[in-house]
Homo-oligomer: A and B are copies of this chain.
Amino acid sequence: MMRTFARGNAAINVLARSGDLSVEVIDVGVDADLSSIVELRHAKIRHGSRNMLVEPAMTHEEYAGALAVGSDAVQRAASDGVQAIGLGEMGIGNTTSAAAVLSALTGLPSEQTVGRGTGIDDAGLLRKRDVVDRAVATHRDRIVSGQSRVSAAESLRCVGGLELVAIAGAVLEAARRNIAVVADGFISTVAVLAAARIAAQVPDSYDADNLVRALFFAHRGSELGHDAALAACADIRGIDAQPILALGLRLGEGSGAALAMPLLRSAAAIMREMATFAEAGVSTASLPE
Q: Are A288 and B119 closer than 8 Å at their CB atoms?
A: yes
Is A200 at the interface (CB under 8 A from chain B)? no
The answer, yes or no, to whether A17 is at the interface (CB within 8 Å) is yes
Kindly report how many copies of this chain are found in the complex they form together: 2
Binds B, one of A149-157, A204-212, A279-287: A279-287
The answer for the CA separation of A104 and B279 in the assembled complex, in Å, is 38
B9, B246, B266: the one contacting A274 at CB < 8 Å is: B9
Q: How far is the CB of A135 from chain B (nearest CB, A)?
A: 21
Given A14-B274, A262-B262, A263-B259, the answer on whether A119 and B269 have CB atoms closer than 8 Å is: no
Q: Are A11 and B288 in contact (CB under 8 A)?
A: no
Shortest A98–chain B CB gap in Å is 18
Which residues of B have CB within 8 Å of A120?
286
Q: How far is the CB of A217 from chain B (nearest CB, A)?
A: 13
Distance (whole angstroms) from the CB of A39 to the closest CB of chain B? 15
Are B10 and A280 closer than 8 Å at their CB atoms?
Answer: yes
CA distance A287 to B288 in the complex (A): 50
Contact pick for A18, options B246, B269, B282, B286, CB 8 Å: B269
Contact A15 B119 (CB under 8 A): no
Question: Which B residues lie within 8 Å of A15 (CB)?
Answer: 266, 269-270
Chain B residues with Cβ under 8 A from A262's Cβ? 18-19, 262-263
Interface check A118, CB cutoff 8 A: yes
Name the 7 nearest CB pairs between A and B, nearest first.
A119-B288, A9-B275, A4-B280, A262-B262, A18-B269, A18-B266, A14-B273
